[in-house]
Amino acid sequence: MRTNTPWRYWANLTRVTLVAVGLFATVSATAGSGSSPCSTIQGAEGDRYTKLVDLSSKQYKKEDYLGAIESILELKSICSEDPRLDFNLARAYQRAGNCNMARYWFEHLLANAGKFSKPFLGDLPKLAGEALVELSSTCSNSAMVAFYCADKGVTIDLKPSGDGETLHFHHPFEGRVEAGDYLMAAHKEGYQSSVSTVFVYAGESNFISVPELASAEQRGTLEVFCPAQVESVTLSRVASKDSMIMKCGEPIALDSGNWRVDFAVGDYPFVEEVTVEQNRSIELHLTEPAYPGRASDDEVWATAALVTGSTAFVSGVLLLVLAEQMEVEKLRPTSVTPAGEVLAYSSAVDERKLGLRLSGGLLGSLGLVGIVTGVVLMMSEDESEEAALGFAPLADEGALFMLRGTF
């Protein structure tokens, strides 16, 4: 059976040319005065390599830049020694709008240009240098970054602290990103994800060590459920300055130990501590918090009700006592028949007594209502729910703790 090698494939291609100004370099094994650095690939890998070369070129011409990037990265995983792949990768990133990675691969090309002859590279170094002048201005806040992890097959997600899309990388990775704060998450199937906060500094080479991922049975999982107006919380180890942002309702794998959960509602901060254990899943339910402003208002209303009610009650009692102490005056007829027979007698004191009694009774009743209201408000302010801890076994996967707290 005949096997097509890259050499046979490249023999049908033209020498290194540019499809258009600033576009793609045609990869050719017979270019210039030397052969292609990847011309020795044989067998199935060689066939795969030639197909990917053709595919990446077609994807680029169709403006499928993301597809071209994936194809070229796959080419470099087979053979990363051809500098023309660096140029094509940089152009694809540039067309896709990724200024940082375009800048990185143009720099990578120039850093290795001395290993190849000028006829072989042609105008690629010149074009890369011109592109870098523009890119250095466009993404001036760019930073070199490299991730190192003891585990193979790790996927790394970088989420900016502010607005911006999450970046996805396969370890090992070296490249450029915007400087700033990131939430870094490392994932691998069969292992607990690791999440940490990292800062990438502009104008420097940032070497970031990814913690070794633990088996799914060696770490604990925490999931925080928040009030409606809270979307995320700040998670940190107790007595540690390092912290990370955690989305509400999304489980996260953590090392065992005591962790602190911070969140804010408006201008009011709230704190809760939780213990994470190996091979345990914990759900922390944060209910509607008791806002300090609300508690203060309740206390004011309770005090006002007690003071007003007490004053009204005492005033009512005094009016009743005063009414009873009024002296009896000489009675005068208030109702007389035509024959002169007196039917009823009264005095001015009786009328005043009746008025005072009614006023005192009404004022005392209102005062009593105010006192009861104040007492109820005071009692409701002091009430608090205790956290409930439940335990339920989970077959062979350890156990699930559910912690609900109100504070």
Q: Could you tell me the CATH number of the domain that includes residue 208?
A: 2.60.40.1120
CA angle 221–225–227, rounded 5-degree value = 160
**Shared-domain flag, residues 125 and 11:** yes
Percent of the chain with pLDDT over 90: 19
Contacts of residue 203, Cβ cutoff 8 Å, sequence gap at least 6: 143, 179
In a domain, 55, yes or no: yes
**Shared-domain flag, residues 169 and 64:** no
**Shared-domain flag, residues 299 and 321:** yes
Worst-scoring range by mean pLDDT, 39-43, 252-256, 311-315?
252-256
Q: Could you tell me the CATH number of the domain that includes residue 110?
A: 1.25.40.10
**Shared-domain flag, residues 93 and 184:** no
pLDDT in tens, 107-124: 999 999 999 888 888 899
* Per-residue tokens: 88: 């094509």
pLDDT in tens, 373-406: 888 877 765 554 333 333 333 333 433 334 444 3
Gap between the Cα atoms of 377 and 384, Å rounded: 14
In a domain, 257, yes or no: no
**Shared-domain flag, residues 134 and 146:** no
Question: Which residue would you say has higher pLDDT here, 399 or 77?
Answer: 77
**Shared-domain flag, residues 3 and 78:** yes
In a domain, 227, yes or no: no
**Shared-domain flag, residues 1 and 124:** yes
pLDDT given for residue 105 in this prediction? 93
pTM for this one?
A: 0.52
* Per-residue tokens: 113: 């240009």
Gap between the Cα atoms of 93 and 87, Å rounded: 10
Boundary (domain end) residue, out of 98, 120, 140: 140
Nearest to 284 by CA among 193, 395, 393, 388: 388
Residue type, 382: D
In a domain, 261, yes or no: no
In a domain, 263, yes or no: no
In a domain, 324, yes or no: yes
Q: Which residues pair with 146 in a beta bridge?
A: 174, 207
**Shared-domain flag, residues 115 and 201:** no
**Shared-domain flag, residues 198 and 297:** no
**Shared-domain flag, residues 64 and 166:** no
In a domain, 390, yes or no: no
What's the domain range around 150?
142-213
Q: How many structural domains comprise the chain?
A: 3
Q: Do 312 and 370 meet the contact criterion of CB atoms below 8 Å apart?
A: yes
Boundary (domain end) residue, out of 111, 140, 169: 140
State how far Cα 296 lies from the chain centre.
31
Q: Which of 178-182, 291-295, 347-351 has the highest mean pLDDT?
A: 178-182
Q: Which residues pair with 207 in a beta bridge?
A: 146
* Phi, psi of 187, rounded to the nearest 5 degrees: -125, 150
In a domain, 400, yes or no: no
Residues in the chain: 407
Gap between the Cα atoms of 113 and 100, Å rounded: 20
Boundary (domain end) residue, out of 155, 179, 213: 213
**Shared-domain flag, residues 93 and 156:** no
State how far Cα 268 lies from the chain centre.
19
pLDDT in tens, 192-224: 777 888 899 988 889 988 877 766 656 677 888
**Helix residue ranges per DSSP H, 263-347:** 292-324
**Shared-domain flag, residues 68 and 90:** yes
